[in-house]
Copies of this chain bind each other. A is one copy, B any other.
Amino acid sequence: MPMVQITMLEGRSTEQKRKVAQRITDAIVEEAGARREAVVVAFHEVSKESYASGGVLMVDKVK
């Protein structure tokens, strides 16, 4: 029963999450031999104030 936990910035649409969950599940079923019903995917969405790379919060990044 593979558990997939995705941490990412908030702001993705339901349609985007729908497709990501579907394709991740397909990948695990087809490549790793898991039963489809046993694959669980959860999205943990965090704000730009709660996510940093390189030591800098996303909210502080100049694009």
Return the CB mask of A15-47 against B: 1 if under 8 Å, else 0. 011111111111111011110111111111110
Q: Is the CB of B43 within 8 A of A50?
A: yes
The answer to whether A55 and B32 touch (CB under 8 A), given A4-B5, A17-B50, A27-B24, is no
Chain B neighbourhood of A39, CB < 8 A: 53-55
Instruction: Tell me the interface secondary structure of chain A in the complex.
Output: mixed
The answer to whether A41 and B32 touch (CB under 8 A), given A21-B57, A23-B23, is no
The answer to whether A40 and B3 touch (CB under 8 A), given A26-B55, A49-B17, is yes
CA distance A24 to B5 in the complex (A): 12
Q: Is the CB of A59 within 8 A of B7?
A: no
